[in-house]
């Protein structure tokens, strides 16, 4: 599925207005941080994507997996909606099948076939942005799944089908 069929009219107009797409992340488990321009001049930048993949790796196993660029585009739109340039605090990015199975055993809230295992989901919070506001902004984009976990202090977003929980 290309970007044209993935993003709504809002998303396409918003992304087209951004000549370079830059995101910042801080992994809450490893304390690693990265700020990268991952898209510029009409192309995704392979070295920048590799840096993102590394920071969003499964911190339990060290496994690195490609993060879906559409997920980064969703985060860029979410950043615009929340009017912040603060780094995304990462609770969970990529999850290896082994880690996902372990988490699924501990909690019924972890999907057996989680999009985290495909690099298509991320659990986040943003300093200075109320969690409910982050959830509402993600829901307003209608670009994928949005899960709200106030007791764990994060919002899940993914580029799967549009749904909420």
For 54-99, the pLDDT digits (tens) are: 999 999 999 999 999 999 999 999 999 999 999 999 999 999 999 9
State the Rg of the chain over Cα: 15
Is the pLDDT confidence value at 12 over 70?
Answer: no
- pLDDT (mean) for 25-43: 96
Is the pLDDT confidence value at 1 over 60?
Answer: no
The single residue listed with the structure tokens 């797409």 is: 21
Is the pLDDT confidence value at 3 over 70?
Answer: no
Is the pLDDT confidence value at 13 over 80?
Answer: no
Collect all residues with Cβ–Cβ distance below 8 Å to 6 and sequence separation of at least 6.
70, 143, 159
| Predicted confidence (pLDDT) per residue in 138-162, tens digit | 999 999 999 999 999 999 999 999 9
Beta-sheet strand order (sheet of 163-164): 43-44, 33-40, 20-27, 88-92, 121-125, 154-158, 145-149, 163-164
The one-character DSSP state at 74 is: H
Nearest to 95 by CA among 84, 82, 106, 85: 106
pTM of the predicted model as reported, rounded to 2 decimal places: 0.89
In this prediction, residue 5 carries a pLDDT of 47
Residues pairing with 92 in the sheet? 123
């Amino acid at each position: 599925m290309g970007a044209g069929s993935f993003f709504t009219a809002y998303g396409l107009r918003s992304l087209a207005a951004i000549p370079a797409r830059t995101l910042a992340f801080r992994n809450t488990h490893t304390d690693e941080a990265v700020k990268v321009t991952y898209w510029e001049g009409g192309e995704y930048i392979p070295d920048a994507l590799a840096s993102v993949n590394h920071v969003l790796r499964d911190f339990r196993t060290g496994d690195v997996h490609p993060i879906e660029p559409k997920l980064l585009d969703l985060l860029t739109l979410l950043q615009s909606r929340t009017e912040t340039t603060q780094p995304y605090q990462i609770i969970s990015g990529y999850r290896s099948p082994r880690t996902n199975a372990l988490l699924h055993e501990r909690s019924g809230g972890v999907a057996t076939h989680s999009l985290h295992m495909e690099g298509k989901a991320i659990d986040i919070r943003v300093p200075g942005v109320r969690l409910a506001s982050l959830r509402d902004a993600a829901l307003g984009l209608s670009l994928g799944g949005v899960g709200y976990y106030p007791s764990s202090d994060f919002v899940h977003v993914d580029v799967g089908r549009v749904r909420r929980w």
